[in-house]
Structure 1
Amino acid sequence: LHGLARALVANMVRGVTTPFVRELEIQGVGYRADIAGKTLRIQIGFSHPVEIPIPDGIKASVDRNVVVRLEGVNRQQVGQFAADLRGIRPPEPYKGKGIRYMGEQVRRKVGKAGAGA
């Protein structure tokens, strides 16, 4: 085996021995997350909380209301669910608020010259 097939088989074996983990950080005043059953509820500045069902095969946990930890055997599934969560409110470049991967550096921009004084 070589190439893509080898990589997929290797990821399956690795996922069973040590689950794949992806951590997301929620940053912003009043932004928080919690888990109710098989649903992840996120409050991120919309008029309503966003409720996302947690797919089968993924174990989610919330730490200090601002860190979402995703674990699973399938690398693709864990990464896709993490990307879907981040896509709800990606980090914005001016204040850095939003959902980001743990350790992700967000490129910050300078606002208007007169704003914020």
Structure 2
Amino acid sequence: MNDAANTNTDGEARSYWVLAESTITTLSNNKFDASSVFVSSPVKNEIAIKGLTSNVKQVSVYTILGSRVFTKQIDGQSTLTIDASLLSSGMYIVELSGESGKFTKKIIKQ
């Protein structure tokens, strides 16, 4: 091996892979609890979201490619119905966001 040139004796370059595990931490002890939230899937004409808590401040819907197709600020609502009749068939991502984090769920529009 020729360490100075970073090649082996055959003249081929060596590759190095470094795998690291990381943990995301937060300064807040509040956790985004979405365990009680129900998001309907598959959907035809409307997306039903039930069990929203006061922690949820905004609901957004994205295409699988990341384009936002719907967003709504909510305040204290426990349920929300989104008109999905104009959405094309395919996979979408529903994002619930609030002061203590975000929760996403994939849905299928038939």
Report the TM-score, using the length of structure 1 for normalisation.
0.30
More helix by share: 1
More strand by share: 2
Larger Rg: 2
Report the TM-score, using the length of structure 2 for normalisation.
0.31
